Structure 1
Amino acid sequence: MTDGDQQPGEAAADRELPADSARAGDGEHPTDGGVAEAQWLASAQSPAVRTRARRRWPLWAALTVVVVLLTCALPSVLLVGLVGGAAGRTATADDPATATARRRGVRMSAQLDRQAAALLSGDRNGFLAIAEPEARADLTRRYAALRALRVTVWRPAADGVPGAVAGRPGEWQLAVRVGYCFVVPDCTPASVVIGTRWRDAGEQPRLLAVEESRTAPAGARPWEVSDLAVAVGTRTLVATTPALRARLPGLLAQAEAAAKIADLYAVGGPPPDRYLVFYAGRAEWRRWYGGGRPRWTAGYAVGVGGGHHDVVLNAESLSPTGVDDLLRHELTHAASLPDRGYSDRATWWLVEGLAEYAGADGQPVGRYDGLAEVRKLVRGGWNGRLDGLAPADDAADDRVGGSYGVGYLAVRHLVDRYGEQRVLDFFKAVVHDRRSVDEAAEQVFGEQWSTLHDDCVGYVRAVAG
């Protein structure tokens, strides 16, 4: 699901739901920093055109979409020399220490460029050649994971100048921003900042260590920290750990089917060039992209820059019958959310409602899995405001499921009244262009939002009975 950037969409409830309940939810709270998560409860998630079967999930699955705000625009060439932020300036403009650091950074840049060329050409020995023995085990694993993911662009660039490592004479640290693409050679690259540590060795400094990225809010990518098994389809790439490799054929088929639905909900441009789905075991769920998701989260979408959103599924929270809905929901987040995420928590109902609508796959409203939770929420004192639906991270499962359900019904009512295209136009105006719902409603629907809001709430109450 989409949770705008790893902070908005993850919250989990510890309580078990009935065996026939399951839904996904986006969990983190949207923030201006690029965080807009969407979590789903462990029951069913996202749009499609077929009946959503009930699933036996112990917890609501939360779908989280995380959108990372990256301020740096990356060029479209495959490799760019690694030059420090101001390395283009003449050394005479710097004091001697700074000038020396810049020259050191240029030498590190050259080494990283050699490594990048080796990675793209499939030369493992060349990839490892710039590193000292203690770094090679980690680099070997990274190389294998990146090659399995079919890396097509790997563009390192220094993020500043090298700094001395305290207490380690002759060692230097350098932050490196890497633009990368998988499968598609001409994509707009995603971006990650990685810490590196070096030893002086004349004109060819030696790489001592590569740290896990901590690019806020996305955190460490799977290919940085795990061995990966990968399956590639026409529209999707699915990756997991070797222990779960047997799931790949089925997951790939399900992801390919979900992508056809999600493509219909692309907002603000064409659908993603390729959807990336990572299927996480218990340890990976806690580590990939920073972990820390609410317990009611079964999946999330996290923005990684360049308009890309990686989708992560929690293997422990999913039953075989729940994966299809969850994938439709999460891939719809990846297709519909802006790269910068969404910043207004009051629009959570719209972001999650669209993903739920897509996940429901055209089924009749009466067959929506979350109706029981909607009834409980409506009859339990809900104040009737869509802008206050977003559940807290520690919300109970039925509260989370009811919130997603109300969002779904509100979007469903707008679609029934105005059609999908006008609802997508409304979504774009509110979530992408950041216009007020009042302005967007007047522009797109020719109606006052206060009237439409009351109509949506009336529809929700009518369906809830």
Structure 2
Amino acid sequence: MTDGLHQPSLRRLWPLWTVLVVVVLLLGCGLPTLLLFGVVREADGRPTIDRIEASATDDPATAVARRLGDRMAAQLQRQSAALLGGDRAGFLTVADPAAHADLRRRFGALRALQVTVWRAEPSGLPTPVLGKPGEWRLPVRFQYCFAVRDCRPSPVLIGTRWRENGDQPRLLALEESKSAETGTRPWEISELVVATGRRTIVATTPALRGKLPGLLAQAEAAAKVADGYVAAGSPPDRYRIFYAGRAEWRSWYGGGRPQWTGGYAVTVGGGHHEVVLNADGLASGAADDLLRHELTHAASLPERGYPGKSTWWLVEGLAEYAGADGQPVDRYEGMAEVRRLVRGGWDGRLDGVTPADNAPAERVGASYGVGYLAVRHLVDRYGPQRVLTFFKGVVHERRTLDVAAEQAFGEQWSTLHDECVAYVRAAAG
């Protein structure tokens, strides 16, 4: 290195960043009526229809929109049943031929992901597209499950465009969700190949197909570790993992991650977190602790995310502890970075250790290392279950650190904080 600094390992060059967002479910508030129409598969494979109708006295324009919305809902019902039944021709038949290429790709990706629940629920009434007579736009709330039938579905709001066509309006396009909270999901925009194990689903692009067997084996091993870090409720029914090439990293879930990001977990609703790994520059041997880290986020975090930057050290420290998987402290990859931070005048505050988005890789590695060491000290002293109780109190129940520490450890947090910091300093030498 020309600057004379220690060269961080690949693991530290690509630390782990978790995106925790809550999907906002828009349900057409304030509209005079709402029609919800969806399809799920029962255990015997038969589709059933979810339908909720509310009516009111309509003006002529609203009455027209309502009738058209009913017909669109019926088309969505047919399309949903076709998707769940593996009928690609039926999935396409409701759409204009110009939309078929996109729909074929979506159908293939969703089937590869083993979609088991697919509900299409129109959100409000259709509205005309300005300047295009006969065309309409309808927001639709899709809900989905992968691989298991009894999961809580994950929702996504997607705009749809239609053309009037008598009793059977034609679907012109499914827009990308582009949610400000979550971003576009991989199956909306990419062709996917998928491997499924007992606890995980791993998906990537055809160009990276050769990575799937190894990734699945690593993911299944990581899932066994992550299952031990459930702070509340049950382990995820399946851990959902997407392995992104360079282009996909910039587009899946909105892209735009800090340069130091090697992976992240994003909450998509229904109690699910979907994990993304950055394939660019990530050696296969570096994926094990990355997967343990990110799947631990999926197992330990609440659907609505964590309280804020002041608890970042705890959230990331627990995931780093799981990622280290019992290795000795002196073998932790970020120790050199922690040492430089401590010797460089660190103020000794855990709540201020969160790295900035534009922080250099060395500073990021040090931040993760401080979180790891603090959590390591708590586990060594009190055991993993009491630490998970503390984590649940802070992250899930939004209790103050003082209250959570008293309940979990019977100690004042100010005392424990100072002990954690002393441990960090001692470990850094």
What is the TM-score of this pair, normalised by structure 2? 0.92
- Counterpart for residue 316 of structure 1: 280
C-alpha distance in 2, partners of 1:63/1:254? 19
1:439 pairs, out of 403, 411, 415, with 403
State the 1:452 CA deviation.
Answer: 0.6
Query: Paired residue for 2:16?
Result: 62
CA RMSD after TM alignment:
2.0
Q: What percentage of residue pairs aligned between the two structures are identical?
A: 68
Show the counterpart of 1:201: 165
Alignment partner, residue 88 of structure 1 = 53
Residues of 1 paired with 2:359 and 2:210: CA distance?
Answer: 34
SS in 2 for 1:62: coil
Alignment-derived partner of residue 75 in structure 2: 111
Deviating beyond 3 angstroms after TM superposition, the runs of 4 or more aligned structure 1 residues are 15-20, 69-83
> What's the CA shift for 1:443?
1.1
Q: Deviations over 1:291-318 (max 9, x none)?
A: 0011100111111100101110010131
- Helix, strand or coil: the match of 1:267? coil
Q: What is the rounded CA distance, in whole Å, between the counterparts of 2:26 and 2:350 in structure 1?
A: 35
Residue of structure 2 equivalent to 1:125 = 89
State the match for 2:135 in structure 1. 171
Question: Which of 329, 332, 338 is residue 302 of structure 2 equivalent to?
Answer: 338
**AA paired with 1:89?**
A
Q: CA deviation at 1:102?
A: 1.6
SS at match of 2:176: coil
Which of 339, 344, 350 is matched with 2:314 structurally?
350
Kept in 2, the 8 Å contact 1:82–1:108? The answer is no
Q: Distance in 1 between matches of 2:5 and 2:384?
A: 32
User: Amino acid of the residue matched to residue 19 of structure 2?
Assistant: V
Amino acid at match of 2:320: E
State the match for 2:358 in structure 1.
Answer: 394
**What SS does the corresponding residue of 1:178 show, helix, strand or coil?**
strand
Please state if 1:268 is matched with 2:268: no
**2:64 matched residue in structure 1:** 100
Corresponding position: 1:298 with 2:262:
yes
1:233 aligns with 2:197: yes
2:418 to 454, 458, 463: 454
The verdict on how the C-alpha distance between 1:76 and 1:401 changes in structure 2, with shifts beyond 3 A counting, is farther
Q: C-alpha distance in 1, partners of 2:6/2:146?
A: 40
Higher relative contact order (CA 8 A, sep 6+): 1
Checking the alignment, whether the CA contact within 8 Å between 1:80 and 1:113 is kept in structure 2 is: no
Q: How far is 1:21 from its partner? A: 1.5
Who is 2:9 aligned against?
A: 21
Aligned partners of 2:372 and 2:60: how far apart in 1? 62
Deviation at 1:63, TM superposition (A): 2.9
Q: Which has the higher helix share?
A: 2
8 A contact 1:218–1:302 mirrored in 2:
yes
- Is residue 101–residue 161 contact of structure 1 (8 Å, CA) maintained in 2? yes
Deviations for 1:77-100, whole angstroms, at most 9, x for unmatched residues? Answer: 5477587xxx73324x22221122
8 Å Cα contact 2:194/2:212 also seen in 1: yes
Structure 2: tracts of 5 or more residues without a match: 28-35, 42-46
C-alpha contact (below 8 Å) 2:267/2:273 kept by paired residues: yes
Q: In structure 2, what is the equivalent of residue 430 of structure 1? A: 394
Q: Deviations over 1:319-349 (max 9, x none)?
A: 1221001000000000000001113210000
Tell me the TM-score normalized by structure 1.
0.85
Partner of 2:31: none
| Aligned residue number for residue 44 of structure 2 | none
Hey, what's the Cα distance between the residues in 2 that align with 1:378 and 1:463?
A: 10
Counterpart contact for 1:68–1:216, Cα < 8 Å:
no
Displacement of 1:243 after TM fit?
Answer: 0.5
Residue 36 of structure 1 corresponds to which residue in structure 2?
none
Structure 1: unaligned runs, 5 residues or longer: 1-14, 23-41, 44-58
Is contact 1:67-1:309 (8 Å) kept?
no
Please report how far the alpha carbon of residue 375 of structure 1 lies from its aligned counterpart in structure 2 after TM superposition: 0.8
How far off its partner does 1:450 sit?
A: 0.6
